[in-house]
Amino acid sequence: MDGLRLAAVAGVSRSTPARRFTALVGDTPLAHLTRWRMALAEELLREPGSTVASVARRVGYTNEFAFSTAYERLHGTSPGPARFRHASRKPGGVSAPPG
């Protein structure tokens, strides 16, 4: 359910749920979602045989370019080198959003 429908069901303005989320979580809904997707992407990039394009699709980006741009904005480096940085580490699991 998107924010507009959620607000309508709750009988509040669209900004109210976003404000409440930010107060509770400490980040905006979009920023929280982006951080969660990138944490999941970090784990997926560690998988043997993973590609940036396959990881981009798995975390919900429409294309590799959009994913790479978001990844670099958050991490300061492109996702390609991250695959090699993590090659020697054991993969873990991301089961919940960071926060």
pLDDT, one tens digit per residue, over 49-80 is 899 999 999 999 999 999 999 999 998 989 98
Global pTM reads 0.70
Residues of the chain by 3-state class (helix, strand, coil), percent to 5: 65, 0, 35
Query: CB-based burial of residue 35 (10 Å sphere; 0-12 exposed, 13-18 middle, 19+ buried)?
Result: middle
Tell me what the pLDDT averaged over the chain comes to.
83
Rg from Cα positions in the chain: 16
Question: Per-residue pLDDT for 96 more than 70?
Answer: no
Contact status, residue 98 vs residue 37, Cβ threshold 8 Å:
no
Residue scoring higher pLDDT (57 or 13): 57
Question: Per-residue pLDDT for 5 more than 90?
Answer: no
